Structure 1
C-alpha cells in the first residue's frame, strides 16, 4: 500500500535574498485529497556578507559557481540537522527549492544552487530537489511552482498571490490552473532600501512618506515583459537588466522611489486580477513577505476594485512557499503530478524532482 502521510522539511530560499525558510510539515492524503499541518517552522536570516555572495552569484566563474553550489548545499544540510536536533523531529525527507541563480527558460536554462547531494550528506537524510529542470526540458518556464499547492491546499480562494522577491499569481480557468509571474516586489523594494542601509521598508513606512512620480511609473509600466502573454516567468537577470537602470537613473528620494514602486507593483497585479475576476465576490489570498507591507496592501486593495484581499496569519504568510515545496516532495515520492503544464507551458504535466540519498 502506498504511504499516504509524510513528515517533510520544506526548504525555501527566495529571490528577495532575506533568508532561509524551513517548514516541518505533515503532508497527508485522506479521502483522496492532499492536506497539510505546519508543525514547526524556522527562518534564518542571511548575513549581509552571504546575501551579497548570493546576489553576486550570477557573475561568478563556472568553477566558483559550482563551489558555491556545493558549499550552500552543505550549509542547508547543516541548518536542517540543527533544526531537527533542537526540535527533536522525526523526518522522512527534505524537499528543497534551492536558490535560483539563472532563470532563462527561453534558452532552456534554469539553475538553482544548493547541491542536493551535499544537503543529504550533511543532514543524513533523503533529499528531493532540482524541481525546475525537467519542466524546462519539456519546453516549460520551470516556474511558478506554488500553484500546485494553491490547487490542492487553497482552492477556496479565487486567486492566490505570492509576494516574494517576485510576485506570481494563480487561479482556475475552465478547469485548468493558470499561473505566471507578474512583477518584481521585494527584489525592487529591497534594492531601494539597501541604498540607505536598510534590509527592507518596515510596514511600508518609508514608501508611505513619498510621493508618486508619474513619469517613472509610466516608464516602469511600459516594460515589454508586461505585454507578453502567459505562461511567463521572471528572474534576477531581467530585473538587473531592465529595472535597475531605470530606478538608478532617477534623482528622486528613496521615499519617492519606494512610493512609486509600490504603485507600479500594485497596478501590475491589479491589471491581472481585474481583467480575470468573474464577479464582485472574488477573494484573493496574499502571502509572502510583501503581505506584511501595510502601505503596499492598502495600495493594492485600492487598485483591486471589488476583489477582496485576504492576508492570513503570519506563519502562512512566511512559510507558504516552503510548505508547497514539502508537498512537491511528497508528490514526487508518490510519483504523482507536481508540475502543471497549464501553468508552465510545458508539453505535458510532469512529476519532477531529483532524489539524493545520504
Structure 2
C-alpha cells in the first residue's frame, strides 16, 4: 500500500489480514480477506495456530492478573513481558501464514490486530487488550490497526461486540435460497454473542451469556482436558436442573441491551456441584438456553440462525439450541452459507481494520450503546518500509 487511504469514498479492495486470540485461549486465528470495508467481501484462506501449553498458562495468569486492574495504564509494567511474547507470536504466525499461502508480506495492505483481552468491565468504561500494535507494525513492516474497543467506550459504549459490522456485510452476501430475514449471526466462543439483522437498519447486537469458557474451564480443572471433543464427556451425563437454573437466574439475562460480558462474569461450577459429565452436559444446556433467550431482547424472532465459533462443534450445544428455536426458525452452521465458522472473527478484524483506515463506523448505538456510530482503533505504520 503506497499510502494510507482515509476517504470512505474509495471503493478499492484492500488486502487485509485479521488476527484473533479469543477468550478460549486456544490459539491465534488468522484470516485473509479482500474488502472495501463495506459490502464487498472476498474471503481468502484462514488458519488457526494453537498455543503451546506454556503460552496458554502465561495467558491464563495474565487474565487472573487482569482482574486486579483499575485503569488501563496500570497494565504496562506487570504485563509487559507477556505482551511482548504475545505480539511476537502474532508476528511469527503472520509470516508463517503468508508463507503457507504463497503470499509476500509486502502484499498485505493492513493487519487488524485484536490482541488478548485480559479485562472487560464496561460498567467502568474499562477494557484492556494486551498486544503492541506498534511493535507488530514495525516487525512486519505493514500498517496495523489495533486497540479497537477503546474509542467506543470513550463515548459511552460497551466496547463489545465489534463483529456486527462484519456480520451485516456477510448478511448482504447470503446465498439467495438462505436469505431469510430477520437473520441472527451467533458466535459461540468463550462467550456467546448475537447479531440481529433485518433489512437496512443498523444491526442489533449483544453478548448472550457463557459460551465455551465455562465448559472448557470445568474440564481443564476437573479432568485435565482442554475441551469436550465431539461431546464425548457430556454424552455420558444429564442436565442438573438446580445448577442450570442457578446460572439462568442471573440478572444479566434481564439487563437491557446492549450488554457485554467478561470471561469471569459467570463463575466455574464447584467440584461438589456434580459429576464431571453431568456438569458438562448442564453447561451445554446453559449456553444454548442463554442464546435462545436472546429472542426476548429482539424486535422479532429470527427466521434464520447462523452459528459460528468453536461451540458449533459441540453436538449438545447445537441440539439444545435447535430444540429451543427450531420450531420457528432454521438453525444452520456458518459453513452451510459458504462461510467459515472458525475464521469469522479473524475475518472481522481484517474487515474492521479497513473500516478503521477509511474512518467508517465499527459500532452503533444498537450494538454497544455508544452515543453515536463511531469508528476506532489505533493506526500504526512502520517507520521503515518493506518486509
Q: TM-score, normalised by structure 1?
A: 0.92
3-state SS of 1:41 partner: strand
Q: Identify unmatched segments of 5+ residues in structure 1.
A: none
Contact 2:257 2:297 in 1 (8 A): no
After superposition, what is the alpha-carbon deviation per residue over 1:263-291, rounded to whole angstroms, capped at 9, x for unaligned?
A: 11111111123674746x81110000001
Equivalents in 2 of 1:202, 1:274: separation in Å?
31
Alignment gaps of 5+ in structure 2: 1-8, 66-73, 173-178, 383-387
* Structure-2 residue corresponding to 1:197: 224
Is 2:30 the counterpart of 1:6?
no
Match of 1:267 among 289, 314, 338: 289
**Residues 334-353 of structure 1 deviation map (CA, whole Å, 9 limit, x = unaligned):** 22122222210011111111
1: CA distance, partners of 2:136 / 2:369: 30
Segments ≥4 residues shifted beyond 6 Å: none
What is the alpha-carbon root mean square deviation over aligned residues?
2.0
More strand by share: 1
How much does 1:3 deviate?
A: 5.1
Counterpart residue number, 1:348: 372
Correspondence 1:206-355 to 2 at 5 A:
206-239=233-266, 243-244=267-268, 247-273=269-295, 276=298, 278=300, 282-304=303-325, 305-313=327-335, 316-355=340-379
| Residue number in structure 1 paired with 2:385 | none
**Equivalent residue of 1:313, what SS?**
helix
Q: Which shows bigger deviation, 52-61 or 327-336?
A: 52-61
Write the deviation string for residues 63-107 of structure 1: whole angstroms up to 9, x where unpaired: 121332233112211221222234332211111111100101111
SS at match of 1:318: coil
Show the counterpart of 2:47.
42
CA contact (8 A) 1:101 1:112 kept: yes
State how far apart, in whole Å, the 1-side matches of 2:272 and 2:132 are: 39
Tell me, what secondary structure is at the counterpart of 1:183?
Answer: strand
1:234-291 Cα deviation digits (max 9, x unpaired)? 012323xxx22xx115341110001111111111111123674746x81110000001
Q: Between Structure 1 and Structure 2, how many residues are aligned?
A: 349
Matched, 1:170 2:187: no
CA distance in 1, matches of 2:141, 2:307: 35
Specify the alignment match of 2:61 in structure 1.
56
Contact 1:78 1:123 in 2 (8 A): no
1:22-37 pair list within 5 angstroms: 22-28=30-36, 34-37=39-42
> What TM-score do you get using the length of structure 2 for normalisation?
0.85
Q: Aligned-pair distance for 1:200? A: 1.0
> What is the distance in 2 between the residues matched to 1:138 and 1:259?
40
Cα distance in structure 2, aligned partners of 1:74 and 1:118: 8
